[in-house]
Structure 1
């Protein structure tokens, strides 16, 4: 496994322009990752910027499966089927059908579309000018759901609806919400030459060169001889990550 340089949440705060430049490629990779999880029977249930790691090749990886639903039949998940009623996730990216189960005495079951709602929330953070969450509280989400069913309120309240991809993912009705097919075929991922960001996405991700400057400072500013020891590595085991000494975690000078 590649050493993870950082996560999307940190980069949105510290390097917003960097995130904007990579947004289309990263969204495509997240889309492929979510679909891969659904294909093996997993609803992540906590897709958010902090759970999207960025590796040294500047590709994204979905992490933290502590709140995930795992289907006993191991998938693939049926888009129209409901699997769980547990209110799992982080509020600002939680789908309304999941969120309502926090207070509803008769919880409703939901399915894989919950992850696509969360992706819509992450995309909004990536492409919005301030790179902030569209929703903060549960009330914000329920106000949005109410707004979607009303024609009386000003459209400027939710500017995300100006983006057809985001509005499709943030469709309150799970049965009408965008899923994998709708995202893959969306015009947002087409280049001027007419090629899609999804074309050969896996191979292009693997072919990307590492960016040594993006590696985390394992030494934490300390001298090599005094760097903190995380755990001793048995002499018969080889390091899982090249160019990193896990006995004294500091980058080798060759980098």
Structure 2
């Protein structure tokens, strides 16, 4: 995902719809991504987003829609600063007693949305200790997480949606139903941004000038030649490349 805050803010609403539809589709297939973060979201030539990097996914043995209340894994995997509290607590307490389920992906969406609308483009939590401290504060304050200092600064429908996605309790955290019916996505004509979102994404014009030109400065980024097995090269401004 691009590092330009203004560009991300401008597209945040539409991208959040696309990400929510993608997360819901994964859950319907029995998959929990477990590493939804800005670095794993790609932007295509029509400025639509694609979820990438499925290496840490949970795959249900019997592929079927996952119930949001179903706690099915105790594996602590992913990126610490976007892990939900219930996943981090599996690392703190007895693994046999702590499990988590699909809501961890909705927590991660809240973290991504915060970055999209943040003027500094910074993550809301920098470390897993920040997340656990936030969860502990919410517990000690009677669960009023929306009064947490960082969340208090978020205003309007965007702030309400982020607060709902970052509810420390998986049972009360927003899921697809709450996100898809949220006032943030109501258009002036009364329709929802979720209506025909897939068709609208396909109809968007291509914006090739918004894509990075990897052919520039070939001496530093030789991307047109096949890499030897096991060889990795750092390419400026590129976080992901297609394996050969």
**CA RMSD after TM alignment:** 2.2
Could you say if the C-alpha distance between residues 27 and 228 of structure 1 is closer, same or farther in structure 2, counting changes exceeding 3 Å? closer
Q: Which residue of structure 1 aligns with residue 134 of structure 2?
A: 144
Q: Which residue of structure 2 aligns with residue 91 of structure 1?
A: 80
Q: Which residue of structure 2 aligns with residue 125 of structure 1?
A: 115
Q: Name stretches of at least 5 consecutive residues in structure 2 with no aligned partner.
A: 228-244
CA–CA distance in structure 1, aligned partners of residues 61 and 9 of structure 2: 38
**1:97-146: CA deviations, max 9, x gaps?**
10112232335111101100000110111112222111011111111112
Q: Which residue of structure 2 aligns with residue 221 of structure 1?
A: 217
- Stretch moving more, 188-197 or 171-180: 188-197
1:80-229 → structure 2 map (5 Å cutoff):
80-107=69-96, 108-151=98-141, 155=147, 157-159=149-151, 162=155, 163-222=159-218, 229=224
Q: Which runs of 4+ in 1 moved over 6 A?
A: none
CA–CA distance in structure 1, aligned partners of residues 90 and 43 of structure 2: 32
Q: Name stretches of at least 5 consecutive residues in structure 1 with no aligned partner.
A: 1-7, 233-255
Aligned length: 218
TM-score with structure 2 length normalisation?
A: 0.83
1:17-96 → structure 2 map (5 Å cutoff):
17-96=6-85
TM-score with structure 1 length normalisation?
A: 0.79
Instruction: Give 1 or 2 for the bigger CA radius of gyration.
Output: 1
Asked if 1 retains the 8 angstrom alpha-carbon contact of 2:34 and 2:105, the reply is yes
- Partner of 1:175, secondary structure, is coil
